[in-house]
């Protein structure tokens, strides 16, 4: 466990989290959310929780991004009301 790498990844995670909720486009938010998941996976693996990192990589960065995109494709760009 190296604290400087921890701090760097944690800063990137916070940056991605802020970017994912401020960006306007839903598709970009999904992609940033995937990046967030992958950085979180790096953080878990670096802190020694390899099992949690595995779950985060498969579910967070893999499946949930695909499911989000599948849901977004059924929405329209502008809301009706």
Partner 1 sequence: MRLLQERTANQKSSDSPIIQTSVRIMVPFIQLFGLYVIVHGHYSPGGGFQGGVILGASFVLLALAFDLKTSIRYMSESVNNILGNAGVLIFTGVAVLCSLFGGLFLDYSALDVIIPMGPIEWRSFGIFLVEVGVGLAVMSILVSLFWDLGSAGGMDEGL
Among 5, 7, 26, 63, binds partner 1 (CB under 8 A): 63
Among 5, 11, 27, 50, binds partner 1 (CB under 8 A): 50
Residues 6+ apart with CB under 8 A from 10: 43
Contact assessment for residue 14 and residue 38, using Cβ atoms and an 8 Å cutoff: no
Per CB under 8 A, the list member of 23, 27, 71, 79 interacting with partner 1 is 71
Question: Residue 48 — left, alpha, or beta (φ > 0 → left; ψ -120 to 50 → alpha)?
Answer: left
Choices 1-9, 14-22, 34-42, 49-57; region in contact with partner 1 by CB under 8 A: 49-57
28 binds partner 1 (CB under 8 A): no
Min. distance of Cβ 54 from partner 1 in angstroms? 5
Q: How far does Cα 22 stand from its chain's mean position? A: 14
What is the spatial distance between Cα 49 and Cα 4, in angstroms, rounded to a whole number? Answer: 18
By CB under 8 A, is residue 19 in contact with partner 1?
Answer: no
């Amino acid at each position: 466990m190296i604290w400087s790498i921890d701090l760097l990844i944690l800063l990137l995670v916070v940056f991605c989290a802020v970017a994912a909720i401020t960006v306007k486009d839903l598709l970009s938010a999904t992609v940033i959310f995937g990046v967030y998941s992958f950085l979180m996976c790096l953080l878990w693996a670096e802190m020694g929780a390899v099992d949690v990192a595995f779950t985060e990589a498969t579910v967070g960065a893999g499946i949930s991004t695909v499911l989000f995109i599948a849901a977004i494709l059924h929405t329209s760009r502008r809301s009706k009301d």
